[in-house]
Amino acid sequence: MLATVTDKGQVTVPKEIRDRTGIAPGSRLDFEVQSDGTLRVRVLVRGADNLFGLLHRPDAEARSIEAMDQGIAGAVGARNRSSRK
C-alpha cells in the first residue's frame, strides 16, 4: 500500500492497516530504521490512561482473574501473529 508524506512530514496510515493493527486516534507508533534502510513501525501497547471505562458493563457477569489473564494472553498472541504477516 502506498501513502504520501505531506510537507509537514505527516502520513495517513491506510484504513486496512489501521484496522488490522488496532491503530486508533491517540495510538503511539515506534519508528525504527533497519540496517538495510527499511523502516520498521510498531504499534505500542496503550497505557493504563486509555483503559478508563473499558471494563464497565453493569449487565455483564464478573470474570475471574484467570479468565482475564487468558483473554489478555489470547489478544496479545493474536496481535503478535497479525503483526508478523
Three-class DSSP category at 57:
coil
- pTM of the complete model: 0.49
For residue 36, the model assigns a pLDDT of 95
Containing structural domain, residue 43: 15-83
The string of pLDDT tens digits covering residues 68-77 is 899 999 888 8
How many alpha carbons fall within 13 Å on the CB side of residue 32?
8
The string of pLDDT tens digits covering residues 14-49 is 999 999 888 888 888 999 999 999 999 998 876 666
For residue 5, the model assigns a pLDDT of 94
User: What DSSP character marks residue 62?
Assistant: P
Asked whether residue 8 is assigned to any structural domain, the reply reads: no
Cα-trace Rg, the chain? 17
Burial zone of 62 (CB within 10 Å; 0-12 exposed, 13-18 middle, 19+ buried): exposed
Asked whether residue 4 is assigned to any structural domain, the reply reads: no
Length of the chain: 85
For residue 51, the model assigns a pLDDT of 63
Asked whether residue 36 is assigned to any structural domain, the reply reads: yes
Asked whether residue 47 is assigned to any structural domain, the reply reads: yes
Number of domains forming the structure of the chain: 1
Average pLDDT of the chain, as a whole number: 85
CB 27 within 8 A of CB 44: yes
